[in-house]
């Protein structure tokens, strides 16, 4: 009976989400979305960082917050580090996908107490150096970092001069690449690509035209479904090997991507905080929404609604405790 009740509630929720475009709390209550007496959501200041996986998280959470909980979500497109600073000024309530940043955790969580983790997104993140699959077919030993200098001449560009080019992404991204190149004695120069879009364009072109490319990249990322980039084996990560940024000579760690919220927001009683805390999904889930946005040309709302309509039971878990769990 309990299973039947859960399925029925999930189906009812899906109908509500697909049919309800109300944004006022009173309207939502009349639709049965919020329990009478539920605390109004108000404004949620959400940081938006510059990669489409993050945008996918934000699209789904924003859609539910606005269309079910009656929140007003104010999205702020800012860099990762600036997002943390906003926790101390009241300008940012939520970071939906945090990649490490132990220094910022220490400053804003441990020392200042203005921020806290709201738990894992359920997604594991990985950063590394990658080459297109055609290069591994032609140069099978290129994935061992010891052999990179042997192939450095292949990667020379007008921007790297007499060195091989290591193409990075947005300058705001987490990167140890300059230190790695120096400390591993590699004949390469780090060149900033400028954005995720530029990085993806370079990767696609390198595989299509069979041109050499060594690039900083990361997963989860929808592009891996199209171009099977191959990761370079750098010296393995061990605890503490990245403690001194200037001396790093090891690979990136695997990241348990978590959500960071301001302490003020966590203690506000807002149903949006409960939604953020409950929000967990898989890398495949994120990639499906990201691909809808980046490849299929859907708006954030369209991509979010498509996913939400297809996953009513998961959405019901996210909304548990928000006052919308008895939606009908």
How many CA atoms, within 13 angstroms, populate the side-chain half-sphere of residue 14?
A: 15
Contact (Cβ atoms closer than 8 angstroms) between residue 275 and residue 319: yes
Distance between CA 97 and CA 57 in Å, rounded? 8
Contact (Cβ atoms closer than 8 angstroms) between residue 275 and residue 318: yes
Q: What angle do CA 190, 210, 141 make, to 5 degrees?
A: 70
Has residue 70 got a pLDDT over 70?
A: yes
Has residue 20 got a pLDDT over 50?
A: no
pLDDT number for residue 50? 87
- pLDDT interval class at 28 (50, 70, 90): very low
Q: Rounded to two decimals, what is the model's pTM? A: 0.83
- pLDDT interval class at 169 (50, 70, 90): confident
Percent residues over pLDDT 70 in the chain: 87
Over residues 244-263, the mean pLDDT reads 95
- pLDDT interval class at 34 (50, 70, 90): low
Distance between CA 195 and CA 218 in Å, rounded? 13
Has residue 276 got a pLDDT over 80?
A: yes
- What are the structure tokens assigned to 228, written together? 């099977």
Nearest CA to 151 out of 213, 227, 236 is that of 213
- pLDDT interval class at 151 (50, 70, 90): very high
Percent residues over pLDDT 90 in the chain: 78
Has residue 27 got a pLDDT over 50?
A: no
Chain mean pLDDT for the chain: 88
Other CB atoms within 10 Å distance of the CB of residue 257: 22
pLDDT number for residue 40? 76
| Bridge partners for 168 per DSSP | 192
DSSP letters spanning 14-82: HHHHHH----SHHHHHHHTSS-TTPPP--EEEEEE-SSHHHHHHHHHHHHHHHHTS--EEEEEE--HHH
pLDDT number for residue 82? 92
- What are the structure tokens assigned to 294, written together? 């980046």
Contact (Cβ atoms closer than 8 angstroms) between residue 187 and residue 161: no
Over residues 117-141, the mean pLDDT reads 97
Domains of the chain (ranges, CATH numbers) = 2-123+258-319 (3.40.190.10), 125-254 (3.40.190.100)
CA 179 vs CA 173, 175, 195: distances in Å: 15, 9, 21
pLDDT number for residue 302? 97
Distance between CA 149 and CA 153 in Å, rounded? 8
Q: What angle do CA 41, 45, 47 make, to 5 degrees?
A: 140
pLDDT number for residue 33? 52
Residues 6+ apart with CB under 8 A from 14: 308, 309, 312, 315
Has residue 1 got a pLDDT over 70?
A: no
């Amino acid at each position: 009976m309990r299973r039947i009740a859960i399925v029925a509630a999930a189906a009812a929720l899906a109908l509500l989400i697909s049919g309800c475009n109300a944004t006022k709390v009173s309207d939502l209550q009349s639709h049965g979305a919020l329990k009478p007496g539920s605390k109004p959501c108000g404004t949620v200041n959400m940081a938006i960082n510059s990669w489409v996986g993050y945008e996918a998280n934000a699209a789904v959470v924003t859609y539910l917050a606005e269309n079910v909980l009656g929140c007003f979500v104010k999205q702020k497109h800012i860099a990762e580090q600036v997002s943390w600073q906003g926790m101390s000024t009241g300008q940012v309530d939520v970071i939906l996908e945090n990649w490490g940043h132990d220094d910022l955790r220490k400053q804003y969580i441990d020392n200042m107490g203005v921020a806290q983790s709201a738990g894992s997104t359920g997604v594991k993140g990985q950063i590394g150096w990658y080459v297109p699959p055609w290069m591994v077919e032609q140069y099978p030993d290129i994935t061992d970092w010891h052999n990179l200098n042997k192939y450095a001449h292949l990667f020379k560009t007008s921007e790297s001069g007499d060195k091989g080019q290591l193409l990075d992404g947005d300058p705001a991204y987490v990167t140890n690449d300059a230190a790695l190149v120096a400390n591993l004695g590699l004949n390469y120069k780090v060149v900033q690509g400028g954005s995720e879009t530029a990085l993806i364009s370079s990767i696609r072109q390198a595989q299509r035209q069979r041109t050499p490319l060594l690039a900083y990249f990361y997963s989860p990322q929808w592009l891996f479904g199209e171009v099977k980039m191959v990761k370079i084996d750098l010296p393995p990560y061990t605890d503490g090997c990245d403690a001194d940024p200037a001396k790093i000579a090891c690979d990136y760690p695997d990241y348990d991507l978590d959500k960071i919220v301001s302490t003020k927001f966590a203690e506000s009683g807002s149903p949006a905080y409960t939604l953020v805390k409950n929000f967990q999904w898989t890398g495949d889930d994120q990639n499906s929404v990201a691909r809808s946005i980046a490849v299929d040309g859907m708006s954030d709302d369209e991509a979010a609604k498509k996913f939400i309509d297809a996953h009513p039971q998961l959405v019901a878990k996210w909304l548990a405790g928000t006052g919308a769990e008895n939606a009908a």
